[in-house]
Amino acid sequence: MTQERKSLIRRFFGGLWALLTWLRTSLANLFFLLFIAIAIVMFSADRGAGIPERAALVVDPSGRVVEQLSIVDPLAQLLGGAEGQDRETLLKDILDAIVHARDDQRIGAIVLATDALKGAGITKTRDIAAALEAFRSTGRKIIAIGDSYSQDQYLLAAQADEIWMHPMGMVDLSGYAAYRNYYGDALEKLKIDLHVFRSGTFKSAFEFMERGNMSDADRIATGSLLQEIWSAYTGVVTVRRKLPAEAVDHYANGIDAIFARHGGDAGAAAMEYGFVDSLMTRGEMDATLAEMVGEDDEGHFSAVNFRDYLSAVRPVFELDGERGEAVVGVIVASGMILDGKQPAGNVGGDSLAALVREAARDDSVKALVLRIDSPGGSGFASEIIREALLEFRATGKPLVASMGSVAASGGYWIAAPADEIWASATTLTGSIGVLSAFPSIARGLNELGINNDGLGTTSIAGGMDLSRPLSPQLEAVLRMANEHTYRRFVDIVADGRKMSPEKVEEVAQGRAWTGTQAQANGLVDQLGNLEQALAAAARLAKLDSYDTRYIEEPASWSSQLLARLSLSPDTLLGKALSGAHMLYLPPEPLTLLGRLQDPRSQYAICTVCAVF
């Protein structure tokens, strides 16, 4: 081949490669520009979406109401949509929208549309109720609408002045329950041994893998919680609806006779007991609301969704403290406490500790509120967080713990060092106890003719192999280590609460308490919501005025955009009732162990708390 021919071939492939490179770069730039264009359209559309001169603010929480949104893959959500996924609604968004609406004369009423709500719990609903009460004090109405009402949906609806329901709807008030399957006998037949080491008489996690029924201690503790929370629920409903104190219990316990009296008509039964004010079709609801607040261009009632409303009334970028005022920081600890770095929706030991240290270094942050909504988890991760909180306190800045729906076990561990602990009356807290669990499948394998054999350099080498029996030596070590961690937990609480270890022991033992009970037991200082905890932190820091700043790991700009693109608002008047009132079922124990991944396999977690 001549040199000229080789040169020609090189030039051809070189040109082809250059063309491909140009195409690749051009496509990348095109997609980038398209991305920017979509972002501008999305953000400007939200900002430009005008609020009618008179409209109803529609508060339609979707999925579970949470203290902190879980991080999901936004691209997968964008491509796959929200089908089959339970979405979440941020409690702060609901509260902020209602607070803004209180002073906005364009908002003529609030409509609570509850059909898409999967769960909020009594504590978060009470926070929403307080904001609604402030709005109601301006003389404007609050209307609840729904096809049907689950127990959790009805608790929110009960905060309205009027409750409307579809004629074919039903109000499901059946009470709280804590039933579960017990696998102890099945595991014995399968010859699987689950070694559980627990410190605390009432620490019942994994009990259902050891027994064939509920233990007496668990029955006492869980029964007490069920009754306390149910009494709080019925109290809220009957007071708001001006019903006899026993109305909800009578309805639930006599539901068969009530339905028989109305020929199975659930709507008529709800009307008889005063749980709803009117039975209306969706069209009738729309027309009645239009009479109250006026019509839009399409003939429906004039409405603005609370998410769109927030986009219009909030600045695009909220720069807390920009006026030069002192800042009270808020760090949210929401979800299971896990080791290492974790995304929002779980509490990472390293992740949250880093945020606490960030607050300690920030001179503008004069005090910190740790907002906890967690049933606990890894004992080691809880301690890593506590150590960071002690470092924060060493700076001389006040630390206040504010408990949401749940702040139990590991959730209480991280609250213990606070200067003050605030909880709601219905917060589930305490559960001061520790447990470890190690499964062994050696007997089951032997039954199948599979035998484990070999040798090690020490008597405990290979002792944690699931296919080998747990030796008495290791069993003793693990039991003592678990008891040591429990004693450390008790001492941590005693030191933080200025109580004797003996006094803490009386209210520990793994037993969960409501906020009211915890205050009586010395585990909580005051009953109140997050706003009151913020005021307490400002008082301790001697601040006359302050801004509030949420200290959190910022989501990437692209993630925020994709999340906005994937958001498709639910229809206003038309989600069918789905799901029961049981808010959450704890994961199976082996799955739970796999998630927690504690370096020492020691867990400070309240599984019964998840039922509420």
- How do the domains of the chain map onto residue ranges? 1-48, 50-164+294-318, 327-556+584-611
3-state SS, residue 117: strand
Q: Could you tell me if 56 and 161 are in contact, meaning their C-beta atoms sit under 8 angstroms apart? A: no
CA distance 68 to 332: 7
Catalytic residue check, 498: no
Mean pLDDT, the chain, integer: 86
- Maximum Cα–Cα distance for the chain, whole Å? 104
Res. 567: pLDDT tops 50: no
CA distance 557 to 316: 13
pLDDT digits (tens, 9 = 90+) for 69-83: 987 655 555 555 444
Res. 587: pLDDT tops 60: no
Tell me what the mean pLDDT of segment 362-371 comes to: 97
Q: What CATH number was assigned to the domain covering residues 327-556+584-611?
A: 3.90.226.10
Which of 142, 139, 177, 133 minimizes the C-alpha distance to 163?
142
Structure tokens at 371: 């907002």
Output the pLDDT for position 597.
63
Determine what percent of the chain is predicted with pLDDT higher than 70: 80
Output the pLDDT for position 582.
32
Tell me what the mean pLDDT of segment 468-479 comes to: 93
Signed CA dihedral, 497, 498, 503, 505: sign only: positive
Res. 591: pLDDT tops 60: no
Output the pLDDT for position 595.
57
CA distance 187 to 588: 14
Structure tokens at 206: 């994994």
Which amino acid does the sequence have at 245? A
481-509 burial by CB neighbour count: b if 16+ within 10 A, else e?
Answer: bbeebbeebbebbbebbebeeebbbebbb
Catalytic residue check, 409: yes
Q: Alpha helices, DSSP H only, in 471-566?
A: 472-497, 501-507, 515-520, 530-540, 557-565
Output the pLDDT for position 574.
35
* Integer Rg of the chain from CA: 28
Res. 419: pLDDT tops 80: yes
Query: Are 50-164+294-318 and 327-556+584-611 the same fold in CATH?
Result: yes
The CA-atom distances, in angstroms, between 610 and each of 205, 407, 465, 512 are 11, 11, 31, 11
Q: Which of 92, 118, 124, 203 is catalytic?
A: 203
Residue 542: pLDDT band (50, 70, 90) is very high
pLDDT digits (tens, 9 = 90+) for 201-219: 888 878 888 899 999 999 9
Name the phi and psi angles at 525, rounded to 5. -85, -50
Structure tokens at 282: 């969706």
Under CATH, domain 50-164+294-318 is a member of which superfamily? 2-enoyl-CoA Hydratase; Chain A, domain 1 (3.90.226.10)
Tell me what the mean pLDDT of segment 182-208 comes to: 89
The more confident residue out of 365 and 46 is 365
Report yes or no on whether pTM surpasses 0.85: no
Res. 18: pLDDT tops 80: no
Output the pLDDT for position 140.
97
pLDDT digits (tens, 9 = 90+) for 274-325: 999 999 999 999 999 999 999 998 999 999 999 999 999 976 444 444 445 7
3-state secondary structure 553-577: CCCCHHHHHHHHHCCCCCCCCCCCC
Q: Which of 62, 334, 409, 601 is catalytic?
A: 409
